[in-house]
């Protein structure tokens, strides 16, 4: 069992990374393999809706998104971490997630793959960013992992984050809850299988 942790901050070892490592510690303690991937410093352009991925199975822009696609397909869970910029997620991370989820939608069944968002801010904008990131999971048949409070830490430096004792505990609890959910879903798959889907995916347009 493996969880992919995405560091969407430009800073490799900043506040977002610090929060992710707290989650990682709990996952590792529960015998869940982890990998932290830094994408926030990459030059990632946004999705252009060309739909080439529907025929080729990968994004037309051959960058870190295509590199991460196989890891996303193979993992049992994903934790997406972002700093807060202007009360929203890092734009580079959003471009990454838009293209990752869109380009893999035809060849990667995310049903019951668990997801969690982790947000870091000096002061405010965390809940808006948290909601923004969770939408990627809810459109993809992915259960969202919760904690004892919204998954956020506060601080301007990694040292500040460690002083946010409540935030760090939230991260540790998140890791434990994610491990439990992954293990429970794995048992459920063996006994019951994945939820049956309707043959046709219906798209309704209200413009007539």
pLDDT over threshold 90, residue 206 = no
Residue 205: the pLDDT is 87
Quick: pLDDT tens for 25-55.
999 999 999 999 999 999 999 999 999 999 9
DSSP 76: S
Show the domains of the chain with their CATH numbers: 2-192 (3.40.50.360)
**Coil, strand or helix at 33:** strand
- High-pLDDT (> 70) share of the chain, %: 100
Enumerate residues 6+ apart whose C-beta is below 8 A from 206: none
**High-pLDDT (> 90) share of the chain, %:** 95
Residue 105 — pLDDT band, cuts 50, 70, 90? very high
**Residue 115 vs residues 9, 45, 138: alpha-carbon distances, Å:** 18, 23, 9
The verdict on pTM exceeding 0.85 is yes
Tell me what pLDDT residue 112 has. 97
How confident is the model at residue 208, as a pLDDT? 66
């Amino acid at each position: 069992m493996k969880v992919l942790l995405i560091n969407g901050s430009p800073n490799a070892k900043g506040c977002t990374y610090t929060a992710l490592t707290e989650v990682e510690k709990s996952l590792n303690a529960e015998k869940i393999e982890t990998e932290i991937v830094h994408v926030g410093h990459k030059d990632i352009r946004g999705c252009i809706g060309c739909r080439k991925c529907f025929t080729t199975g990968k994004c037309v822009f051959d960058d870190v998104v295509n590199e991460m696609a196989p890891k996303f397909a193979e993992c049992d869970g994903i934790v997406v971490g972002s700093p807060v910029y202007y009360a929203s997620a890092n734009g580079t991370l959003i471009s990454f997630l838009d293209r990752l989820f869109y380009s893999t939608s035809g060849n990667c069944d995310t049903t019951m793959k668990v997801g969690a968002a982790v947000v870091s801010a000096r002061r405010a904008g965390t809940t808006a960013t948290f909601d923004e990131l969770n939408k990627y999971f809810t459109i993809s048949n992915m259960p969202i992992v919760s904690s004892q409070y919204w998954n956020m830490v506060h601080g301007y430096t990694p040292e500040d984050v460690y002083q946010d004792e409540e935030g760090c505990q939230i991260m540790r609890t998140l890791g434990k809850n994610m491990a439990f959910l992954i293990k429970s879903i794995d048992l459920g798959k063996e006994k019951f299988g994945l939820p049956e889907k309707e043959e046709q995916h219906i798209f309704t347009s209200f413009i007539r």
